[in-house]
Homo-oligomer: A and B are copies of this chain.
Amino acid sequence: MRSRRRLVVIGGDAAGMSAASQARRRDPDLDIMVLERGEHVSYAACGMPYLVGGLVGSPERLIARRPEQFAAQGIEVRLRHEAIRIDPPAQRVSFSSSDGVTHVEPYDELLIATGARASIPDIPGAYARGVFTLRNLASGVATWEWVERERPGRAVVIGGGYIGLEMAESLRHRGIQTALVHRGAEVMSNLDPEMGALASQALRDIGVALYLGEQPLAILEANGRARAVQLSDRELPADLVVFGTGARPNSALAQEAGIALGAGGAIRVDDHLRAGIDHVWAAGDCAATIQRVTGEPIWVALGTVANKMGRIAGLNLTGGDAAFPGVLNTAITKVGVMEIARTGLREGECLRSSLDYAAITIEDRTLPGYYPGSAPIHVKLCAEKGSGRLLGGQIIGGPGSGKRIDTIAACLTARMTVQDLVDMDLAYAPPFSPVWDPVQTAARVLLSEV
C-alpha cells in the first residue's frame, strides 16, 4: 500500500488556503501541508485600511479562519515557516522554521502561492518608526496600533493607488490631518487622467491635501521616528507615514527553481495554473494571468482574483480539469461618498494597443433627479470601431455607482457590443436608477461613435 499523496502549499492567504480547502473537499485522503512565513493564514488583507480607519473594531475580525479550523479539516498549517528552496526534480521543498532549523519535505504536488510584497521606494528613513506599509496582517495591525496608541495628528500617505486612497480616507475618518503624495498628475493611474482627476477631487473633498507630480526624497526623522516627508520644495510634517506605492510579486523562490516568469515579473502559468514544471502550480498574487479583453499577459494583485485562482488550482491539482479564463482587471474603491471602479481597458490602454477604438464619457445621475439621494455619476466607455465590441469601462460617482461596473464586466466577459448593452433589460425603479441606467446612457452615446 503506497503512502498518502502529499500537497505542499507555500503561502497561506487567499490563493493558498482556497486551494487547500478545495483540494481537501475533493480528496479526503490527500496529505496537505501549508507553509506560511507570517503569523496568520486566511485573513482579509483588503480590510486592513478599514481596520486602521477604526471601522472594523479589532484585528481578529479580519481573520476568516484560524489554523485550528484548518487542522480540524486535516489541513496542516505551519506558521512562521518560510520556504527557502524548491527542488523540482526531487519534488522536495526546503523551509526554515522560526527556530532557524531547516527542514525538507517531499511533495507530490506543490502550489506556490507566495503572494506579493509592498514595493517601497529606496529613500532615507523609509524604515523609521512611524513609517508603515500594509504588506500583511501583522503590518496592518502595527499601523492600527500606532494610530490607537500614538494618536498621530498628521499623516502623509505616499502613493495614489487603491491602498493610498483607502488609507487616506481611513485616516481622515480618524480625524487625522492627511496629505497624499503621488507621482502622477492625478491619482489612480489605473484610470484615464480625466477620471483620475475626479478621484483627486474626491480626496480633496474629504480634506486630503494632495501633492501631485511629486515623489518623496526622504523620510525625515527625529530620534529614529518619522517627523516629516521631504518633497523637492517642502517638508510635509508627519507623525505617521504610510506607503501605498504598489506591489511586486513574490516570485524569486520560483525563479530560483527554474520556473519562468511572465507579466510584471510574476510566475508564468498556463490556463490550468501549471507553472511549466511537472507537479508545480502557482496561483494568486505571485502568478501572472491574461487580460480577457486582449488575451495578453497581465499581472494583477487582488484578493478576489487570488481566491478564484486558488479554487482552480485546488481543482486541477486533485485531478480536475478547470481553466482559469483570466481577468478583466476589474477593481473598485471609494473615497468618502465617491465610488470609483474600472474594468477592461481604459482609453490609455486602447491607445497603446493596435485596436481602432472610440471612447466617450458622460455625466448622469445615479437616480432620477426627483428622488432623494440622486447624485452625479460619470461613466466612460471604450469600444472597438467596426465590431462595436466593448473594451472597457470606468465609473466614478455617488452611492450606488461603483458596482454598476459589474454589468460592464459581464459584457466584456461575453464580448458583447455597445448595441447589446443598449438593448439589455436592466433593473429600473426610482430608488435604484434612472429609467435608462447610466451605463446604458453611456452606451447610447457611444453607439454613434462605433
Contact = CB atoms under 8 A, between A and B. Distances in A.
Most buried by B among A334, A371, A413: A413
A57 interface: yes
Given A403-B403, A427-B402, A428-B46, A304 B368 contact: no
Most buried by B among A292, A409, A432: A432
Nearest to A60: B370
Interface stretch (A101-109, A218-226, A320-328, A348-356): A320-328
Nearest to A400: B403
Contacts of A409: 407, 424-427
A56 B427 contact: no
A62 interface: yes
Contact of A430 (B46, B325, B427): B46
Contact of A428 (B292, B332, B371, B411): B332
A343 B428 CA distance: 12
A420 interface: yes
A50 interface: yes
A209 interface: no
Contacts of A328: 425
A371 B427 contact: no
A423 interface: yes
Contacts of A66: none
Interface string A362-396: 00000011111000000000000000000000000
Interface in A404-450: 404-407, 409-411, 413-414, 416, 420, 423-433, 435-437
B56 A370 contact: yes
Given A406-B437, A427-B331, A371 B56 contact: yes
A372 to B, nearest CB: 5
B292 A425 contact: yes
B304 A334 contact: no
Contacts of A238: none
A58 to B, nearest CB: 9
Interface residues of A, number: 66
Contact of A413 (B14, B44, B55, B425): B425
A341 interface: yes
Contact of A427 (B14, B47, B343): B343
Contacts of A430: 44, 46-47, 50
Most buried by B among A55, A370, A425, A437: A425
Most buried by B among A166, A307, A403, A404: A403
A246 interface: no
Interface string A160-177: 001000100000000000
A330 interface: yes
Contacts of A62: 370
B435 A307 contact: yes
Contact of A407 (B292, B372, B406): B406
A333 interface: yes
Interface string A164-206: 0010000000000000000000000000000000000000000
A426 B304 contact: yes
B424 A341 contact: no
B368 A47 contact: yes
24 contacts: A14-B435, A46-B428, A47-B430, A55-B371, A56-B371, A61-B369, A302-B428, A303-B428, A304-B436, A305-B425, A307-B436, A324-B423, A332-B427, A334-B429, A343-B427, A403-B403, A403-B427, A403-B432, A406-B427, A409-B425, A409-B427, A414-B414, A414-B416, A414-B420
Interface of A: 14, 44, 46-47, 50, 55-57, 61-62, 162, 166, 292, 302-305, 307-308, 324-334, 339, 341, 343, 368-372, 400, 402-407, 409-411, 413-414, 416, 420, 423-433, 435-437
Given A331-B427, A406-B407, A410-B410, 19 more contacts: A44-B368, A46-B435, A47-B368, A50-B370, A56-B370, A62-B370, A166-B429, A304-B425, A304-B428, A332-B428, A334-B432, A339-B432, A403-B432, A403-B433, A407-B407, A407-B409, A411-B414, A413-B416, A413-B420
